[in-house]
Amino acid sequence: MIMIFLGPPGSGKGTQAKRLVGERGWPQLSTGDMLRSAISNGTSLGLEAKSFMDKGQLVPDSVVIGLISERIESGDCQSGFMLDGFPRTIPQAEALDKMLLEQGRKVERVVLFDVKDNELVRRLSGRRTCLKCGSMYHVEFTRPSRDGICDKCGEMLVQRDDDKTAVISKRLEVYHQQTAPLVGYYRKQGKLRELDASVQPDTVYESLIKALS
């Protein structure tokens, strides 16, 4: 199955996708993770992306479409995958439909993670991430056993540059202007399932499994 996790920054798309990778083995294709990896590898694509990400703006469509079109051709994506953070604009969604059609495939399910803006600010400003293994924590909700240290690999936890308050507001504005129109795009195609993602992660996971079945 080809699934899209759609929703504002901080709505829990990555948290739930990582759990599904662990429990179901479906590949998670996160454009945010791909871009951060390009930044830490110091590639020219990473350098270009960083200038947009640090300001809370979207990276140009051509860049992320190129990343995804290459990735979905990999062997591990042949029987399905989860898209986390892509598409984020109507041109990205149209490009995805076109590239899948050329391969005789299509998006089957789009899950919208619904959370109010004030809760998103709380989640993003408190998020701490392990740069080594990608595990996520929160200073209030999911604290590591030792402050600032990843439980899984012992690495130091950091706050993402775009999780600073001023950038969070810009990311939310960009979501409402450029990404929210995708809700109508996929609703018209009859693929959209909405879930209340403001509740506990385990409850969100149960709703997600139902939405995908």
Q: Is 81 helix (H, G, I), strand (E, B) or coil?
A: strand
Residues 71-90 that bind ligand AP5 (CB under 6 A): 85-86, 88
Q: Which is nearer to ligand AP5, 2 or 58 (CB)?
A: 58
171 assigned to active site = yes
Q: How far apart are CA 89 and CA 61, in angstroms?
A: 8
Dihedral, CA of residue 99, residue 66, residue 167 and residue 170, to nearest 10? -40
Q: Return the residues of window 21-60 that contact ligand AP5 according to CB under 6 A.
A: 31-32, 35, 52-53, 56-59
**Smallest distance from the beta carbon of 168 to ligand AP5, in angstroms?**
9
**CA dist., res. 167 & res. 66, Å (int):** 25
Q: Please pick, among 36, 88, 123, 128, the residue that the annotation labels catalytic.
A: 88
Q: Which residues inside 140-159 make contact with ligand AP5, applying CB under 6 A?
A: 141-142
Q: How far apart are CA 43 and CA 46, in angstroms?
A: 5
88 is an active site residue: yes
What is the maximum alpha-carbon separation in the chain? 49
**Which of the following is catalytic: 50, 105, 109, 160?**
160
Contact between residue 12 and residue 197 where contact means Cβ atoms under 8 Å apart: yes
Q: Residue with structure tokens 């001023």?
A: 166
CB of 58 to ligand AP5, least distance (A): 4
Tokens of 43: 């590639």
Structure tokens at 188: 């018209």
Total binding residues toward ligand AP5, as defined by CB under 6 A: 34
Comparing C-alpha atoms, which of 163, 146, 185, 148 is closest to residue 56?
A: 163
Residues 169-208 that bind ligand AP5 (CB under 6 A): 171, 200-201, 204
Q: Is 122 a catalytic residue?
A: no
Q: Which of 36, 123, 127, 128 is catalytic?
A: 127
Catalytic status, residue 160: yes
Give the residue numbers marked as catalytic: 13, 88, 127, 160, 171
Residues that bind ligand AP5 in the complex, under the rule CB under 6 A: 7, 9-15, 31-32, 35, 52-53, 56-59, 64, 85-86, 88, 92, 123-124, 127, 136, 138, 141-142, 162, 171, 200-201, 204
